[in-house]
Structure 1
Amino acid sequence: MYDRILVPTDGSTGSAHIAMQAIDLAEQYDATVHVVYVVDEDVGSLLQSMKITEPELREYGQRAVEKVERMVQAHGVDVAAEVLEGDPATTILDYADEIDADLVVAGTHGRSGIERRLIGSVAERLVRRASCPVMTVRLPETNVTVEDEDHATELAEEELANRGIDATVTGIEQQQHVWVAEATTDDGSLLVYVDPETQRTSVVTEANP
């Protein structure tokens, strides 16, 4: 049913929850996940007020797609990533047509500031204008099954053990409704994302600063 699944990202931690939905579908249908971040061409005044340069925003976008890319790769799913420029909704729609996407999986809102503008405010336009189905994902507010740090830590440790990774969880916190555990190994550090609703976990090698 699905061969190419497009996931716009804003780089927020909540994007992990959205990516997990796309990964589930990609695993079921042996699909490729395409990750895209759009640098808004019309944020000049906003950038100036926040003292952010366009190269910095593009660099942020590159880190954003790489974060999701590593999550997808950790599950053995094919992935492609792009950082584009333009009007966010139009650019995402054009890219969906360019790759002949079978499905777009998008968050209904991002975090505050530029990221919210890039993703949250365009979801409705994607639904109205996309030539393929659009699956909108809200960060979980109900049906939460992982409510505390101890449970989230236990799930993270179980996932590491199941993968045969000798690592120690050194910290955990909830960021935008996704539990993020930090773990260390002899070779470096890892992040373990735990979805508080589905208990789905994803292990990602933490990029060097």
Structure 2
Amino acid sequence: MYERILHPTDGSTGSAHVTLQAIDLAEQYGATVHGVNVVDSDVSALLGSDSDTLEQQGKNAVKSVENMAKAHGVEVETEVLNGDPAETILDYAEEIDADIIVSGTHGRSGVKRQLLGSVAERLVRHASMPVMTVQLPETDVTVENSEQAKTIASEALEEQGYDAEITSVSRQLTVWVLDAETEDGTLLVYLDPETQRTSIID
């Protein structure tokens, strides 16, 4: 159903959640995620940023998409473009023959949120393909509590063929750490709170 998923991003707080929605679709359909950031020079003055700063932010934003997609084994391509965000995204969608656009939209007030919401609204109105909008949360963390971490780690262990029970869960600065018991001993599971990538050490 989907082969090419276009995911515009500006790297805003909470955008990891939107990226994961695009990645989830890509995993379901074996699709490629196309992460794109559009540098709008007209907005730089409004936000108090120069174009070089915005371009670097764009590179960082699509790099985050690339890292998350690769962590989930999803094919990914990224671009940083210049122009009017909505128009450029729509043109790029046509260029790559995108099957769907997965875009974040603002949840609260603020200049950046209003701009993002305006872009998402224009995409919905004018895109020739389906547009999925995802409300941006207030954080990039996608694994927010120990129960969620335990569930994800348990699923990862099962997928890797381990018959194991999680015995402890703790949150360190940048990672969840879980202990799991098997008949043969103890396993250590590291879980990235943003990408949800797990590493199992026996």
3-state secondary structure, aligned to 2:106: coil
- C-alpha distance in 1 between matches for 2:36 and 2:146: 34
- Counterpart of 2:54 in structure 1 is 57
The one of 155, 169, 172 aligned to 1:170: 172
- C-alpha distance in 2 between matches for 1:44 and 1:75: 33
- The alpha-carbon distance between structure 1 residues 113 and 40, as it changes in their structure 2 partners (threshold 3 A), is farther
Consecutive unaligned residues of structure 1, counting only runs of 5 or more, are: 172-180, 195-200, 205-209
- C-alpha distance in 1 between matches for 2:96 and 2:53: 27
For the 8 Å contact 2:22–2:102, the answer to whether it is kept is: yes
* Paired amino acid for 1:108: T
Consecutive unaligned residues of structure 2, counting only runs of 5 or more, are: 161-169, 178-189
Question: Percent identity of the aligned residues?
Answer: 56
**1:100-159 alpha-carbon deviations (Å, 9 max, x no partner):** 100001112278766435522211110111111111112469xxxx7x644355457658
- The alpha-carbon distance between structure 1 residues 17 and 152, as it changes in their structure 2 partners (threshold 3 A), is same
- Does 2:74 align with 1:81? no
3-state secondary structure, aligned to 2:103: strand
- Does 2:165 align with 1:182? no
The one of 95, 106, 111 aligned to 1:109: 106
Count of residues in Structure 1 that have an aligned counterpart in Structure 2: 174
* Paired amino acid for 2:77: A
Bigger Rg, which one = 2
Pairwise CA distance, 1:162: 7.4
- Counterpart of 1:122 in structure 2 is 119
| Normalised TM-score (structure 2) | 0.72
| Normalised TM-score (structure 1) | 0.69
- Does 2:39 align with 1:46? no
